[in-house]
Amino acid sequence: MKPIRLSLVAVLLVAVLAACGSTSAGGGTTDPARADVTVTAAEMAFTPGSVDAPAGEAFTLALVNDDAMPHNIAIYTDESKSEKLFDGEMVTDGTVVYDIPALAAGEYFFDCSLHPEMTGTLVVGG
């Protein structure tokens, strides 16, 4: 029975490693602690409501979702949401690290695509 047990362990290990790899949002870091900017979603609100980011260079933004429902971050030029600049993948009760493309200095608007009442301000080059 030993060989069967060992192969089961191997299969589980492969599954765990594959799951870890799939959390990558592509590109830069997937480690929330190393993200340039961190936003927490909890009880249907983003904290902090205003975050700073560097101008003219790509940066990483970690979304820490403490809620048991899916949230994401979608970035728009302004509150009118006429132009979407970034659409982050949904995450439920966990953390995702987004690779945000370089933005010109200015104030941007972000919200959760599922819960438009969850909003925030992204201050680039502030």
Q: Which residues bind Cu ion (CB under 5 A)?
A: 71, 112, 114-115
Nearest CB to Cu ion, comparing residues 57 and 93: 93
Contacts of 34 (CB under 8 A, 6+ apart): 60
C-alpha–C-alpha distance, residues 60 and 7, integer Å: 38
CB of 24 to Cu ion, least distance (A): 22
Query: Least CB distance from residue 112 to Cu ion, whole Å?
Result: 3
Report the nearest approach of Cu ion to the CB of residue 9 (Å). Answer: 38
Q: How far is the CB of 31 from Cu ion (least distance, A)?
A: 23
CA 112 to mean position of chain CA atoms: 11
3-state SS, residue 93? coil
Residue 123 near residue 107 (C-beta atoms within 8 A): yes
Nearer to Cu ion, 34 or 81 (CB): 81
Q: Which is nearer to Cu ion, 47 or 115 (CB)?
A: 115
Tokens 């997937």 found at: 30
Q: Which is nearer to Cu ion, 31 or 79 (CB)?
A: 79
Question: What kind and span of H or E run contains 18?
Answer: helix 2-22
